[in-house]
Structure 1
Protein backbone atom coordinates (compact mmCIF):
# COMPACT_ATOMS: atom_id res chain seq x y z
CA UNK A 1 0.00 0.00 0.00
CA UNK A 2 1.28 3.43 -0.81
CA UNK A 3 1.69 5.67 2.21
CA UNK A 4 -0.32 8.40 0.50
CA UNK A 5 -3.22 5.95 -0.01
CA UNK A 6 -3.24 5.14 3.71
CA UNK A 7 -3.30 8.84 4.51
CA UNK A 8 -6.18 9.43 2.08
CA UNK A 9 -8.19 6.53 3.51
CA UNK A 10 -7.73 7.57 7.13
CA UNK A 11 -7.75 11.37 7.02
CA UNK A 12 -11.16 11.67 8.73
CA UNK A 13 -10.71 8.85 11.23
CA UNK A 14 -10.04 9.32 14.92
CA UNK A 15 -6.41 8.83 15.91
CA UNK A 16 -7.63 6.29 18.49
CA UNK A 17 -9.01 4.02 15.76
CA UNK A 18 -7.58 0.51 15.87
CA UNK A 19 -6.36 -0.69 12.49
CA UNK A 20 -7.56 -4.04 11.15
CA UNK A 21 -6.84 -6.00 7.97
CA UNK A 22 -9.59 -8.11 6.44
CA UNK A 23 -9.10 -11.08 4.13
CA UNK A 24 -11.79 -13.39 2.82
CA UNK A 25 -11.70 -15.53 5.94
CA UNK A 26 -10.28 -13.42 8.75
CA UNK A 27 -10.11 -9.97 10.32
CA UNK A 28 -6.81 -9.45 12.10
CA UNK A 29 -5.31 -6.47 13.92
CA UNK A 30 -2.40 -4.57 12.39
CA UNK A 31 0.49 -5.10 14.77
CA UNK A 32 3.46 -3.66 12.86
CA UNK A 33 4.54 -1.72 9.79
CA UNK A 34 7.21 -2.81 7.36
CA UNK A 35 8.63 -0.46 4.76
CA UNK A 36 8.97 -1.71 1.20
CA UNK A 37 12.28 -1.53 -0.64
CA UNK A 38 11.01 1.27 -2.88
CA UNK A 39 10.62 3.56 0.18
CA UNK A 40 7.19 4.82 -0.90
CA UNK A 41 5.11 1.78 0.03
CA UNK A 42 4.30 0.35 3.42
CA UNK A 43 3.26 -3.15 4.34
CA UNK A 44 0.78 -3.52 7.17
CA UNK A 45 1.58 -6.67 9.15
CA UNK A 46 -1.30 -8.40 10.85
CA UNK A 47 -1.64 -11.46 13.03
CA UNK A 48 -4.03 -12.91 15.55
CA UNK A 49 -2.67 -10.94 18.51
CA UNK A 50 -5.05 -8.72 20.43
CA UNK A 51 -2.89 -5.58 20.54
CA UNK A 52 -3.85 -3.70 17.39
CA UNK A 53 -1.97 -0.53 16.48
CA UNK A 54 -3.95 2.68 16.52
CA UNK A 55 -3.95 5.17 13.69
CA UNK A 56 -1.93 7.50 15.92
CA UNK A 57 0.83 4.90 16.39
CA UNK A 58 0.93 4.22 12.67
CA UNK A 59 1.08 7.93 11.84
CA UNK A 60 3.95 8.56 14.24
CA UNK A 61 5.96 5.62 12.91
CA UNK A 62 5.48 6.55 9.27
CA UNK A 63 6.33 10.21 10.00
CA UNK A 64 9.51 9.16 11.78
CA UNK A 65 10.52 6.89 8.93
CA UNK A 66 9.84 9.38 6.14
CA UNK A 67 11.39 12.41 7.86
CA UNK A 68 14.11 10.81 9.95
CA UNK A 69 12.74 12.67 12.99
CA UNK A 70 12.12 10.36 15.89
CA UNK A 71 10.23 11.58 18.93
CA UNK A 72 11.41 10.49 22.33
CA UNK A 73 9.73 11.75 25.49
CA UNK A 74 13.12 11.49 27.18
CA UNK A 75 14.93 13.87 24.78
CA UNK A 76 15.47 17.39 26.02
Structure 2
Protein backbone atom coordinates (compact mmCIF):
# COMPACT_ATOMS: atom_id res chain seq x y z
CA UNK A 1 0.00 0.00 0.00
CA UNK A 2 2.90 2.29 -0.48
CA UNK A 3 1.55 3.57 -3.79
CA UNK A 4 -1.51 5.36 -2.30
CA UNK A 5 -1.29 9.13 -2.14
CA UNK A 6 -2.46 10.88 1.00
CA UNK A 7 -3.07 14.58 1.45
CA UNK A 8 -2.86 16.06 4.91
CA UNK A 9 -4.10 19.49 3.85
CA UNK A 10 -7.19 21.07 5.27
CA UNK A 11 -9.40 22.29 2.48
CA UNK A 12 -11.33 25.41 3.37
CA UNK A 13 -14.95 25.29 2.35
CA UNK A 14 -16.10 27.85 -0.15
CA UNK A 15 -18.48 30.41 1.31
CA UNK A 16 -22.07 30.07 0.23
CA UNK A 17 -23.18 33.27 -1.43
CA UNK A 18 -26.64 34.19 -0.26
CA UNK A 19 -28.58 36.57 -2.51
CA UNK A 20 -30.01 39.68 -0.92
CA UNK A 21 -33.65 39.39 -0.02
CA UNK A 22 -36.45 41.76 0.87
CA UNK A 23 -35.73 41.00 4.53
CA UNK A 24 -32.23 42.40 4.13
CA UNK A 25 -33.62 45.44 2.34
CA UNK A 26 -36.06 46.17 5.18
CA UNK A 27 -33.29 45.70 7.74
CA UNK A 28 -30.95 48.06 5.85
CA UNK A 29 -33.64 50.74 5.65
CA UNK A 30 -34.24 50.50 9.37
CA UNK A 31 -37.92 49.60 8.96
CA UNK A 32 -37.47 46.28 10.75
CA UNK A 33 -35.24 45.52 13.72
CA UNK A 34 -34.85 41.78 13.27
CA UNK A 35 -35.40 39.23 10.47
CA UNK A 36 -38.53 38.02 12.28
CA UNK A 37 -40.06 41.49 12.21
CA UNK A 38 -39.14 41.85 8.53
CA UNK A 39 -40.95 38.58 7.73
CA UNK A 40 -44.06 39.74 9.59
CA UNK A 41 -44.05 43.03 7.65
CA UNK A 42 -43.64 41.17 4.33
CA UNK A 43 -46.49 38.78 5.17
CA UNK A 44 -48.78 41.69 6.06
CA UNK A 45 -47.87 43.52 2.85
CA UNK A 46 -48.58 40.37 0.83
CA UNK A 47 -51.99 39.98 2.50
CA UNK A 48 -52.88 43.61 1.74
CA UNK A 49 -51.80 43.20 -1.90
CA UNK A 50 -53.90 40.04 -2.30
CA UNK A 51 -56.94 41.72 -0.70
CA UNK A 52 -56.60 44.77 -2.95
CA UNK A 53 -56.26 42.66 -6.08
CA UNK A 54 -59.39 40.67 -5.15
CA UNK A 55 -61.25 43.93 -4.50
CA UNK A 56 -60.24 45.47 -7.83
CA UNK A 57 -61.05 42.31 -9.78
CA UNK A 58 -64.46 41.96 -8.11
CA UNK A 59 -65.29 45.63 -8.67
CA UNK A 60 -64.57 45.22 -12.40
CA UNK A 61 -67.25 42.51 -12.76
CA UNK A 62 -70.54 44.07 -13.91
CA UNK A 63 -73.68 43.72 -11.81
CA UNK A 64 -76.05 40.98 -12.94
CA UNK A 65 -79.39 42.13 -14.37
CA UNK A 66 -82.36 42.15 -12.02
CA UNK A 67 -85.71 41.09 -13.44
CA UNK A 68 -88.75 43.18 -12.58
CA UNK A 69 -86.78 46.08 -11.19
CA UNK A 70 -87.33 49.33 -13.12
CA UNK A 71 -84.63 51.31 -11.37
CA UNK A 72 -81.90 52.29 -13.83
CA UNK A 73 -78.40 51.30 -12.83
CA UNK A 74 -75.36 53.54 -13.03
CA UNK A 75 -74.56 54.38 -16.65
CA UNK A 76 -77.83 52.95 -18.00
CA UNK A 77 -79.88 55.11 -20.36
CA UNK A 78 -83.59 54.46 -20.83
CA UNK A 79 -84.84 55.51 -24.29
CA UNK A 80 -87.97 57.66 -24.41
CA UNK A 81 -91.02 56.05 -25.99
CA UNK A 82 -91.99 57.49 -29.34
CA UNK A 83 -95.61 57.39 -30.29
CA UNK A 84 -96.34 55.69 -33.57
TM-score, normalisation: structure 1: 0.25
From the CA coordinates, give the structure whose radius of gyration is larger.
2
Structure ranking higher on relative contact order (CA contacts 8 Å, 6+ apart): 1
TM-score, normalisation: structure 2: 0.24
Higher helix share: 2
